[in-house]
Structures are given as structure tokens and as C-alpha cells.
């Protein structure tokens, strides 16, 4: 808030500054009531075409005394090309630096209160000698003002009843009260660092083990599915057939029959297709295709005539496999036991090869 | 008239016969179909069931539908083999006479021989019947009697076991089908059987079946036509062979029955005669369904009836035959597939 007031003061003073052709010094607005952190600003304005030479001390900033620190002088920025073209920046700058007249320059010297005495005290901004670009000397005299603490001297002094030591904080007789002390954080020692690293390492190790277990489980489950799920097995076995035979080879038809039988848990014929759909309702989407397959199979294997419809066994198996994959029972052991009861199904052995031992005997 | 037309005509006759008998004996369509299949496959039928369910009625109805000469023998514990072949008596002139028994009485015109309560007859009587069933002939009085058109229908009740003689394995194997006739479960059928007076008089019911709808004397010929016209594909041949092997060693096929040690279950699998009967019956099923080729469903239709009594179990399981055999056949059907 004080800083804002100071700026307003500067602006007002600039707006009502002395006419052009002289050096004007503007001191801070007030000389009392400064606290730690407040900034006081002196403003030196010169005529058009002139400027104040900024010494190296002013550019870097320095500690003046116990209570004051001079902030580095910031040169006013040159308006950009766009700003010059538009003109607004120039006008705005002129308004701000009106005290220096159009085209003049202004030097802002700012001091910050970095320390305060226990009681209100009068101190001074230091004297300062400056030079203009025209070698005109500018003398800035010392300027007095008062600074003081934010609180009374003994307002928060607290004496510990147990130890007798004095300090800041605790409850006061006048009812003022600090926030309770925050416990200090423990020192972060090298030992702590090693322990933390060890904990981090253990955590990462556990994470890696969990991920590894999950990966192994995924591989194992994938492997089991490929070897247990009926249509997955049929798909794999059909894929092992010569490419030209996959769509229409007798073995491919038998493999698909085996998969359907294994899915139903019993031998399926046209008349018992409802049993299959009851056992595996997720096949309903392809019920028509399955029935067509059975009719074509009957014509092919029993009637020994070309079926009326052309069945692509490979693609039908793939479609049924996709359904099976989405609906795969979580308890694969049940599937395995069901298949275990049907080793000779469709004349195919468990590995999906045609002509089981029983039929080959 | 070509063969196809003959077969088509006979199919119509067979279906009409089934319909007529089905009207007389209600609530037993599958049983009637199986007996009809056996008739056209030239096989003998053993019917088992509770007392009073209509075993005799249905067999008599078939006998009437087949026509020809009919003989009926009641199995009793004192029945002896010679009682089937001849009987002796002293005539009015005081001369000893020997007349042909029920088996020989009609000669070659005998079409239906109905043996009621066969398990009450001694094994000697059953043995005589073995040859008559297998070869359709017997030797007596130094000559051989032929019964080319004879079909043996036998029944036994499963309730009473006292003073009965269980059929030997060889005797059972002579029957193409062993059928179980159970009490109808449908309430409408049950209500008709007890309320409708039309079903109270068996003789009237049997007479409602047209006589000789399927003349027995022609059955051998038409059966031959059926067997030669209905073909089996290599896939069906393999299927039949797989079934046969499964009856011999079900464990090798992964067949399992709850509570049964499959390695100790089978004494002997189905006989060649049994498998032949199965194939013949399957062809008849295909013919009755207007097909010229056999499909697995045809075989499955007759498999329980044709093989259930032909799988010979070890003694430890023989006592549980009525429970184990159907489960075994069902498991075989579930496991063995074609193609």
C-alpha cells in the first residue's frame, strides 16, 4: 500500500512539475510511517535532450547503512518500433514524465527499508551527487524520515515458565496470540538420503516384480487360452494347414466341428444346435452361419455332394474365435475339464491334428 | 414299379402304421417309432416296462399291422423248450398224438411270435429261442423248420424279479432293440387312459389298427431294398467304427460316467451283430426320414436302444446295468462325433 501511494505521489508531482529547462528533484511523499520492506523513491527530472548520468554505483545497487538499501536504477525502456509507429507509447511516457517535459528524462532512485530499530527513529536518505549529460551538477541533499517497528518492543516477549528463557511467541497477558510454532523439519542428513534411496529402490523393485508377475501371468493366460479355448485351438490348427487348404480342407471342417463340440461340451449335430447356443449364447450372433456350416457339412461328409452354400471355414473360425475371446470364461479349468471328457471328438486329437489315435488305429 | 417308388410307397405305409398304432396306444410315439424301425430292419424287439403300461397291447397292435400268423406264448417257470416245439396228448380214440407246438404250428407263414414275460421262462427255453431268433429256424423231428418272416416280440416286467431268469448275454444280443416302456407323463394322456372308455378295452383298441397294413411276408424284401438303397459315407463308416471302439474301451475315448471306474466297467463291447443291427436300423431311420444317406442323427436315434443291452459289463457293475448302461451310451454319443 505505501508503495502504491508513493507511485501516485510521483505521478501527481510529475504532472504538476516545474516547467522545462530546469532540473527538478522530487522527494518521497511523506517523511513518517515507514516500516520494514517499504520503498522510498527520489525522482530527478531533466530537460528535453538532456539526461542524468547513471554511475556504476547506481546501476548495481548497494547497502547504504544499517537500515537502507539502494535498489539498482532501472533505465526507462526505449519504446519499440511498433510503439513509435503507433505513437501511444510516446504519449503515455510523456504523460508519466511530464515533469521533465516532452523528450526529457527521469531518474528514479529507490531505497528500501531493510531493517528497523526497536523503537521509532529518524534516519536520512543519503546525500547524492549526480551529473547531467551536459556536465551540470545535481546535488541531492539528505532527506530525513522516520522508520519504526511493526509492533511494540515488548509486545510478544514470552518467558517460558519451566526454563525461564525468554523468546518470542506464546500467549500474552493482553490477549494477543501468535500462531502456534511449527515444528522444525528434521535435518536431511546423508544417512537419511541413503535410507530414502533404499526405500525408493525397494519400491521400484516391488513395482518391477509386480509388473513382471503380471507379464508372466498375462503370457501364461494367453498361452492357456491359445491351447484351451476351443476356437483358439481350431484357429491355430487351421492356420497350420497349407494356405490353399484352409478354406475347404476336410481337416479344417473337422477342426471347426471339434471346436463347436468342445464349446457345447457334447457332440453337436444339426438337431442339437439349440444345445450349443444354450451352452454358449454368445455364439448367437453367428447362429445362422453355424447352422449353414452344419448343413453344408452334412452335404459334404454324409450326402457326399457339393453344399448349396459356400462356407469359408477359416473366416468362420476366425469370427467365432473373436466372439470366444471376448466371452472367454474366466475359469479356464472348467473348459479344460470339459474338453478332457471329449478327447476323441470329431476324430481330432487334442493338439488339433486330424485323425485321432482312436480312429487311426 | 421302380425301387424308389416301392420304397416311397412303403414309407407311406410305415408312417400310416405308426399313426394307426399311435392312435391305439397313446403317449408312446418314440417307442412306436423304434418298434417300427426294428420291424423294417428285420430285428427282434425286447420290451421292458412296468406292469400294465401297455407292453402287450402295443406289441399285439404291431402284430395286427403286420398281419400273417401270430403266436403267443406266456413265459412261466415250468415252460420247457419242447412246449414250444410240440405237445403230446391222447386223442378221443385213445391214441397218442403229437401236434406241432406254437413255434412250428404255422410254418413259414408265422410272422409274429410274441413271448410274454420272457424272463419267467427257464434258460433252456430262452436258448431254444436264440436260434429261432438268429437264424429264423429250428430243428425238430429230424427236419429243419424255417420262419423267414418271423419277428419275435418279447416283453418282461421290471418290477418282479422273483422266480425269473435274467436273459443271458447271448439271448439279449439276439434282440435288435431293448426298449423301455414307461408310464406316460403327460397329464392329458394319463387322463385319457383312465377316463376315456375307448382305452379300457385292449382288444377293441387293437382291432382299430387296420389288419396287415404292412404285410409281414413282404417285409424281408422291402427291408433288403432299404438296406441297399440307403448308403453310408466314409465319414459315417468312421463314426460307426469309433462308436464300436468306444463300447470296447470307453476310457480311451475319454468317456466317463459318474461313480464308475471306467477301466473296470467293460467286459466286452458291442458285438459285430450288434453293430450290424445298429447300422441296419440307422438306414431304416434315414429311409423313414426320406433320405438316401445316413447322418449321425440317424445313428443316435437308435444307438441307446441298439447298444444299451449289448454292452457287457463286469459283474460288479452288471447289478447296476439299468443305471450304468444308459449313462454309458449317452456319454459315448456325447463324446464320439462325426465328422
* CA distances, B248 to each of A16, A322, B241, B277, B331 (Å): 123, 39, 11, 17, 13
Give the rounded percent of residues in chain A with a pLDDT score beyond 90. 33
Q: Is the per-residue pLDDT at A290 higher than 90?
A: yes
Contact A291, A270 (CB under 8 A): yes
Is B252 in the A-facing interface, judged by CB distances under 8 Å?
A: yes
- Per-residue confidence band for A158, with pLDDT thresholds at 50, 70 and 90: low
Quick one: cell of A238? 487351421
Q: Is the per-residue pLDDT at A264 higher than 60?
A: yes
By the 10 Å C-beta count (0-12 exposed, 13-18 middle, 19+ buried), B188 is classed as exposed
Q: Is the per-residue pLDDT at B288 higher than 70?
A: yes
Residue B158: per-residue pLDDT: 72
Is A263 in the B-facing interface, judged by CB distances under 8 Å?
A: no
DSSP code string of B285-331: HHHHTT-SB--HHHHHHHHHHHHTTTSEEPHHHHTTHHHHHHHHHHH
Residue A48: per-residue pLDDT: 61
Q: Is the per-residue pLDDT at B9 higher than 90?
A: yes
Q: Is the per-residue pLDDT at A14 higher than 50?
A: no
Mean pLDDT of the region A273-296: 92
- The ipTM, to two decimals, is 0.82
Closest B-chain CA to A349: B253
Closest by Cβ to A257, choosing from B245, B253, B339: B339
Domain extent listing, chain A: 2-147, 192-228, 230-360
Distance from CA of B143 to the nearest CA of A (A): 46
Q: Is the per-residue pLDDT at A211 higher than 90?
A: yes
All residues of chain B having their beta carbon less than 8 Å from the beta carbon of residue A261 are 337
Q: Is the per-residue pLDDT at B43 higher than 90?
A: yes
- Using CA atoms of B209, B215, B217, B221 in order, give the dihedral in degrees to the nearest 10: -130
Residue A344: per-residue pLDDT: 42
Give me the residue label for grid cell 461340451: A265
- Per-residue confidence band for A351, with pLDDT thresholds at 50, 70 and 90: very low
Q: Is the per-residue pLDDT at A330 higher than 60?
A: no
By the 10 Å C-beta count (0-12 exposed, 13-18 middle, 19+ buried), A243 is classed as exposed
Mean pLDDT of chain A: 75
Asked whether the beta carbons of residue B235 and residue A301 sit closer than 8 angstroms, the reply is yes
Is A304 in the B-facing interface, judged by CB distances under 8 Å?
A: yes
- Of the two residues A241 and A172, the one the predictor is more confident about is A241
Closest by Cβ to B335, choosing from A250, A301, A345: A345
Q: Is the per-residue pLDDT at A260 higher than 60?
A: yes
Residue A114: per-residue pLDDT: 94
All residues of chain A having their beta carbon less than 8 Å from the beta carbon of residue B252 are 344, 358
Q: Which of A24, A18, A2 is nearest to A111 (CA)?
A: A2
- Per-residue confidence band for A308, with pLDDT thresholds at 50, 70 and 90: low
Q: Is the per-residue pLDDT at A67 higher than 90?
A: yes
* CA distances, B86 to each of B71, B105, B147 (Å): 14, 9, 16
Closest by Cβ to B336, choosing from A250, A253, A344: A344
Mean pLDDT of the region B283-304: 95
Mean pLDDT of the region B152-168: 81
A–B CB contacts, 8 A cutoff, strictly below? 82
Highest mean pLDDT pick, A3-12, A42-51, B307-316: B307-316
Is B262 in the A-facing interface, judged by CB distances under 8 Å?
A: no
Q: For an interface test with A, which of B232, B235, B239, B331 has the most A Cβ atoms less than 10 Å from its Cβ?
A: B235
Closest B-chain CA to A294: B339
Asked whether the beta carbons of residue B338 and residue A361 sit closer than 8 angstroms, the reply is no
Residue A159: per-residue pLDDT: 57
Contact A40, A71 (CB under 8 A): no
Domains (ranges, CATH) in chain B? 3-221 (3.40.50.300), 230-335 (1.10.8.80)
- Among A120-124, A135-139, B158-162, the range scoring the smallest mean pLDDT is B158-162
What are the pLDDT digits (tens) for B207-245? 999 998 999 889 999 999 999 999 999 999 999 999 999
Distance from CA of B201 to the nearest CA of A (A): 38
Is A361 in the B-facing interface, judged by CB distances under 8 Å?
A: yes
Residue A84: per-residue pLDDT: 54
Closest by Cβ to B337, choosing from A250, A257, A341: A257
Q: Is the per-residue pLDDT at B280 higher than 90?
A: yes
Give the rounded percent of residues in chain B with a pLDDT score beyond 70. 100
- Of the two residues A80 and B201, the one the predictor is more confident about is B201
- Per-residue confidence band for A160, with pLDDT thresholds at 50, 70 and 90: low
All residues of chain B having their beta carbon less than 8 Å from the beta carbon of residue A266 are 334-335
All residues of chain A having their beta carbon less than 8 Å from the beta carbon of residue B236 are 301-302
What are the pLDDT digits (tens) for B162-205? 778 888 888 888 999 999 998 999 999 999 999 998 888 889 99
Residue A359: per-residue pLDDT: 28
Q: Is the per-residue pLDDT at A15 higher than 70?
A: no
Closest by Cβ to B245, choosing from A253, A343, A358: A358
Q: Is the per-residue pLDDT at A321 higher than 80?
A: yes
Q: What is the distance between the alpha carbons of residues A268 and B333, in angstroms, rounded to a whole number? A: 10
Q: Is the per-residue pLDDT at A319 higher than 90?
A: yes
- Per-residue confidence band for A166, with pLDDT thresholds at 50, 70 and 90: low
- Per-residue confidence band for A5, with pLDDT thresholds at 50, 70 and 90: low
Amino acid at each position: 500500500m505505501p508503495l502504491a501511494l508513493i507511485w501516485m505521489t510521483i505521478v501527481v508531482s510529475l504532472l504538476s512539475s516545474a516547467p522545462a529547462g530546469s532540473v527538478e528533484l522530487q522527494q518521497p511523499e511523506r517523511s513518517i510511517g515507514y516500516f520494514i520492506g517499504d520503498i522510498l523513491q527520489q525522482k530527478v527530472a531533466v530537460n528535453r535532450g538532456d539526461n542524468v548520468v547513471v554511475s556504476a554505483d547506481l546501476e548495481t545497487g548497494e547497502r547504504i547503512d544499517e537500515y537502507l538499501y539502494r535498489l539498482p536504477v532501472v533505465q526507462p525502456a526505449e519504446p519499440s518500433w511498433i510503439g513509435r509507429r503507433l505513437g501511444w507509447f510516446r504519449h503515455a511516457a510523456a504523460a508519466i514524465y511530464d515533469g521533465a517535459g516532452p523528450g526529457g528524462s527521469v531518474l528514479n532512485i529507490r531505497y528500501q527499508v531493510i531493517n528497523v530499530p526497536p523503537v521509532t527513529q529518524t534516519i536520512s536518505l543519503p546525500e547524492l551527487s549526480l551529473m547531467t549529460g551536459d556536465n551540470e551538477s545535481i546535488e541531492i541533499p539528505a532527506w530525513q524520515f522516520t522508520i519504526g517497528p511493526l509492533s511494540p518492543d515488548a509486545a510478544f516477549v514470552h518467558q517460558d515458565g519451566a526454563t525461564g528463557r525468554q523468546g518470542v511467541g506464546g500467549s500474552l497477558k493482553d490477549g494477543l496470540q501468535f500462531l502456534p510454532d511449527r515444528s522444525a523439519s528434521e535435518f536431511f542428513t546423508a544417512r537419511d538420503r541413503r535410507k530414502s534411496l533404499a526405500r525408493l529402490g525397494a519400491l521400484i523393485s516391488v513395482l518391477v516384480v509386480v509388473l513382471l508377475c503380471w507379464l508372466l501371468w498375462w503370457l501364461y493366460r494367453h498361452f492357456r487360452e491359445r491351447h484351451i479355448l476351443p476356437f483358439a485351438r481350431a484357429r491355430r490348427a487351421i492356420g497350420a494347414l497349407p494356405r490353399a487348404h484352409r478354406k475347404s480342407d476336410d481337416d479344417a471342417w473337422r477342426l471347426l466341428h471339434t471346436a463347436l463340440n468342445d464349446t457345447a461340451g457334447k457332440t453337436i449335430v444339426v438337431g442339437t444346435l439349440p444345445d450349443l447356443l444354450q451352452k454358449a449364447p454368445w455364439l448367437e450372433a453367428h447362429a445362422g452361419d453355424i447352422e449353414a456350416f452344419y448343413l453344408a457339412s452334412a452335404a459334404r461328409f454324409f450326402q457326399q455332394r457339393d453344399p448349396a452354400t459356400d462356407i469359408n471355414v477359416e473366416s468362420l473360425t476366425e469370427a467365432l474365435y473373436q466372439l470366444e475371446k471376448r466371452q472367454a470364461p474366466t475359469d479356464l479349468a472348467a473348459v479344460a475339464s470339459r474338453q478332457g471328457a471329449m478327447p476323441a471328438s470329431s476324430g481330432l486329437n487334442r493338439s488339433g491334428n486330424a485323425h485321432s489315435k482312436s480312429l487311426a488305429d | 414299379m421302380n425301387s424308389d417308388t416301392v420304397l416311397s410307397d412303403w414309407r407311406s405305409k410305415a408312417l400310416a402304421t405308426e399313426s394307426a398304432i399311435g392312435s391305439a396306444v397313446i403317449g408312446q410315439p418314440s417307442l412306436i417309432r423304434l418298434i417300427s424301425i426294428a420291424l423294417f430292419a428285420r430285428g427282434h424287439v425286447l420290451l421292458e416296462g412296468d406292469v400294465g403300461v401297455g407292453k402287450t397291447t402295443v406289441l399285439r397292435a404291431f402284430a395286427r399291422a403286420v398281419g400273417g400268423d401270430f403266436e403267443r406264448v406266456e413265459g412261466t417257470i415250468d415252460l420247457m423248450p419242447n412246449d414250444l416245439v410240440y405237445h403230446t396228448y391222447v386223442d378221443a380214440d385213445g391214441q397218442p398224438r403229437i401236434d406241432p407246438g406254437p413255434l412250428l404250428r404255422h410254418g413259414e407263414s408265422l410272422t409274429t411270435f410274441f413271448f410274454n414275460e420272457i424272463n419267467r421262462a427257464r434258460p433252456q427255453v430262452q436258448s431254444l429261442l436264440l436260434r429261432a431268433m438268429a437264424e429264423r429256424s429250428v430243428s425238430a423231428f429230424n427236419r429243419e423248420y424255417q420262419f423267414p418272416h418271423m419277428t419275435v416280440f418279447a416283453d418282461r416286467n421290471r418290477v418282479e424279479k422273483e422266480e425269473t431268469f435274467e436273459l443271458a448275454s447271448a439271448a439279449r444280443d439276439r434282440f435288435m432293440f431293448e426298449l423301455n416302456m414307461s408310464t406316460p407323463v403327460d397329464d392329458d394322456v394319463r387322463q385319457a387312459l383312465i377316463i376315456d372308455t375307448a382305452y379300457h378295452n385292449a382288444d377293441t383298441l387293437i382291432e382299430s389298427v387296420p389288419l396287415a397294413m404292412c404285410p409281414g411276408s413282404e417285409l424281408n424284401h422291402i427291408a433288403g431294398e432299404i438296406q441297399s438303397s440307403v448308403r453310408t459315407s466314409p465319414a459315417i463308416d468312421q463314426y460307426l467304427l469309433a462308436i464300436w471302439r468306444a463300447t470296447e474301451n470307453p476310457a480311451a475315448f475319454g468317456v466317463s460316467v459318474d461313480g464308475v471306474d471306467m477301466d473296470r466297467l467293460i467286459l466286452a463291447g458291442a458285438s459285430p451283430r450288434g453293430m450290424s443291427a445298429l447300422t441296419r436300423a440307422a438306414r431304416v431311420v434315414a429311409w423313414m426320414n426320406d433320405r438316401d444317406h445316413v447322418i449321425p442323427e440317424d445313428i443316435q436315434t437308435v444307438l441307446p436302444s441298439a447298444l444299451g443291452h449289448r454292452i457287457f459289463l463286469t459283474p460288479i457293475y452288471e447289478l447296476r446295468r439299468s443305471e450304468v448302461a444308459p449313462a454309458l451310451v449317452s456319454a459315448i454319443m456325447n463324446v464320439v462325433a462325426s465328422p
